[in-house]
Amino acid sequence: MTTKKILHSIFLFLFAFSFSQTSIDENIRGKFTYLFQAKPNSLNRDNIYKELFSLQISDKRSFFISENKLKFDSLFTKEFAKNNGIINMKGTSSKASNFLIIQTNENVQCYETVGMTLLTYSIPIINNWKLVDETKVINTFVCKKAEVKYKGRDWIAWYSTAIPLPYGPFKFSNLPGLIIKITDKTGDYDFELVKSEPNSSIEGKMISISKRHYYNAKLVTKKELDDARKNFKENARHELESMGTQFSQDQRERQRINEIEKKGYNPIELED
């Protein structure tokens, strides 16, 4: 067996081992799908990023994760179970946000894998909501309005007391009902509920998120995680170039694009 095949086998073994940690002994109380829409670059406002996220709620906490990431997990598990040495991931999307957010009534725990290391940081739940005496029907739900200033953005949320679950997308929670839609006032970022699983389809089922996304994570600060992500991206490119990898864009063009991205960088959180 060649060194390349040995390394490939070791990688598959370690990757599969992480997938074996799948059991979460928590009954699911609610399962919802949100459409996330964003304008990540203020200099290219026609570019709108879209992604679907799953919000799964148990008796004591909620899990918010990319649906493409869940599809990847499901397909990899099925492919590996065939035990034929071939992992065919054809059909999975490469567009998947690399984070998991777990919320309780007390705090928000954020997880992200950087390289081969799972990192996590904790922040308090939002407790400065302003409830507004205004109602609106969104996707058949009668919703009430709430406002909050969070991480440098002013957000408008619409929640439904008909679904008495105090959770929502991303890091938003702690309202008297499920958040159906939340948008920042500039219109650059938006989460909207597009699918709700009926109780009959989730009765007796468990949370379907692999423990590998949050088990044995290294505790860091948000800044440390942001720095690790930035350093990993920069080092990965340098490593590829040092091994002779050539990219289609020349150095000057790449620098120009990088400068545009930096100048127009429009993150969801403008403040720490």
Beta carbons within 8 Å of 68's beta carbon, 6+ residues apart: 51, 52, 92, 93, 95, 96
271 in helix, strand or coil? Answer: coil
Residues 103-141 have pLDDT tens digits of 999 999 999 999 889 999 999 999 999 999 999 999 999
CA dihedral sign, ordered 148, 153, 154, 156: negative
Q: Are 213 and 65 in contact (CB under 8 A)?
A: yes
What does the pLDDT look like over 246-255, one tens digit per residue? Answer: 555 555 555 5
Burial annotation 110-128 (CB, 10 A radius, 16+ → b, else e): bbbbbeeebbbbeeebbee
* The CATH fold of domain 3-222: outer membrane lipoprotein receptor (LolB), chain A (2.50.20)
Report whether pLDDT(15) > 60.
no
Structural contact between residues 142 and 149, judged by C-beta atoms closer than 8 angstroms: no
187: amino acid identity, one letter: G
Q: Are strands 49-57 and 141-150 parallel, antiparallel or unpaired?
A: unpaired
Q: How much is the pTM?
A: 0.82
Residue 5: pLDDT band by 50, 70, 90 thresholds? Answer: very low
Per-residue pLDDT for 11 more than 50? Answer: no
Distance CA 97, CA 115 (A): 14
Greater pLDDT, 77 or 174: 174
Residues 67-109 pLDDT 10s: 999 987 756 565 555 555 555 545 555 577 999 999 999 999 9
What does 34-68 look like in DSSP terms, one character per residue? EEEEE--BTT-TT--EEEEEEEEE-SS-EEEEEHH
Pick from 171, 53, 57, 61: nearest CA to 105: 61
Q: 19-57 in b/e burial notation, b at 16+ Cβ within 10 A?
A: eeeeebebebbbbbbbbbbbbbbeeeeeeeeebbbbbbb
Q: Which residues pair with 194 in a beta bridge?
A: none
> Do β-strands 62-66 and 99-103 pair in parallel, antiparallel, or remain unpaired?
antiparallel
Two tokens at 223? 């800044």
Tell me the domain boundaries of the chain: 3-222
